Amino acid sequence: MIGRLKDFIFGKEPEPANELSLTGTEKQLFDRALQLYVFVHHVRHDEVGEALAGQLKYSGNVVYSLVRNWLTDGKPSLEYMEFLNEQINKLRKLGPAQRQGLGIQPEDIAMLELAKEVKLTFRDDETKEVLRITYLPETGLCRWGMVG
């Protein structure tokens, strides 16, 4: 553990220690979650209106929590699926004034193309843990690990 933390502090990324293989509906939902996360962070939250910034921050935090729980439990929860649909529908209902500052429109979330290798790092403010994810959308292989 100390070696992994030392690598993290000095810039070398530790290799994610766990693997999860996603197929079918689970893979589609995971892709959708990552697309929503990319959408939420494609614009600086201080460059959009206060209400939209709050909604984007909330969406990002909940996607993080749900992805983390999914990875640690090995399967998605019903609340996960409901949340994704609910958040995307809320974003689609935003009026033109509320959408100012968005480079990507909510209707286009499903069209966001994920890279061949998606690397994400989430820092949990409460636990100070860092979740590192390496995801290969083509195969549905997700490697992940916690540091901290």
* 9-60 per-position pLDDT tens digit: 445 555 668 999 999 989 998 999 999 999 998 888 888 888 888 889 988 8
What's the rounded mean pLDDT across residues 122-139? 89
State the pTM of this model: 0.83
- Number of domains composing the chain: 1
pLDDT given at position 15: 61
The domain in which residue 40 lies consists of: 2-147
Beta pairing partners, 118: 135
- For residue 13, the model assigns a pLDDT of 55
Q: How far apart are CA 77 and CA 146, in angstroms?
A: 21
Instruction: Give the pLDDT of residue 126.
Output: 83
Q: How far is Cα 114 from Cα 38, in angstroms, rounded to an integer? A: 9
Find the DSSP H helices in the chain.
2-9, 24-40, 50-73, 78-92
d(CA 105, CA 101): 10
